[in-house]
C-alpha cells in the first residue's frame, strides 16, 4: 500500500540525520557533497536519506546543473504543522492552568501575607 502523504512526511522526519539535512537546506541549496560534509557518512548513505526526503516531497533536486543542487520544499512541513495545530490547546491549556494557578497564588499571598 502506498503510504499517504502525511505518513510519508512524518516517516521522513523520524530520523535525526534527515532533520539535520533539512536544517542545512533551510540556509540555502546545497550539493550532496556539501550535505555529506558535517556527517561522518558516505555519499551513498547520504544519497539514501535524500531519496527518502525527495519521495516525501521535502526536497527538490535540480535537473539542469551537473551537481544537481538540493533545495528545501516546505509544503509537506506545512501540512504536518497543520495536523499538529488542533492539539495545541492541550499543551497551551496546561500552561494556562499553571499561569492561572500562579496568579491566584500571588493574589492570595497579597491578601494574607503583606508585601514579602
Question: Is residue 3 a contact residue for a copy of itself (CB under 8 A)?
Answer: yes
φ, ψ of residue 51 in degrees (nearest 5): -65, -40
How far is it, in rounded angstroms, from Cα 71 to Cα 66? 15
Residue 83: CB atoms within 10 A of its CB come to 12
Q: Which one, 93 or 108, has the nearer CB to a copy of itself?
A: 93
Binding a copy of itself by CB under 8 A: which of 20, 41, 60, 80?
80
Query: What is the rounded CA–CA span in Å between residue 60 and residue 74?
Result: 10
The whole-angstrom separation of Cα 3 and Cα 7 is: 6
Binding string, residues 20-59; x marks residues near a copy of itself by CB under 8 A: --x---x---------------------------------
* Interface positions with a copy of itself (CB under 8 A): 3-4, 6-11, 13-16, 19, 22, 26, 72, 74-75, 77-78, 80-81, 83-88, 90-91, 94
Amino acid at each position: 500500500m502506498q503510504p499517504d502523504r502525511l505518513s510519508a512526511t512524518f516517516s521522513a522526519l523520524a530520523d535525526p540525520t534527515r532533520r539535520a539535512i533539512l536544517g542545512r537546506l533551510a540556509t540555502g541549496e546545497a550539493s550532496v557533497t556539501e550535505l555529506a560534509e558535517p556527517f561522518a557518512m558516505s555519499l551513498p548513505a547520504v544519497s539514501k536519506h535524500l531519496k527518502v526526503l525527495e519521495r516525501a516531497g521535502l526536497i527538490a533536486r535540480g535537473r539542469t546543473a551537473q551537481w544537481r543542487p538540493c533545495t528545501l520544499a516546505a509544503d509537506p512541513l506545512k501540512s504536518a504543522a497543520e495536523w499538529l495545530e488542533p492539539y495545541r490547546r492541550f499543551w497551551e491549556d496546561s500552561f494556562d492552568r499553571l499561569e492561572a494557578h500562579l496568579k491566584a497564588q500571588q493574589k492570595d499571598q497579597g491578601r494574607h501575607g503583606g508585601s514579602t
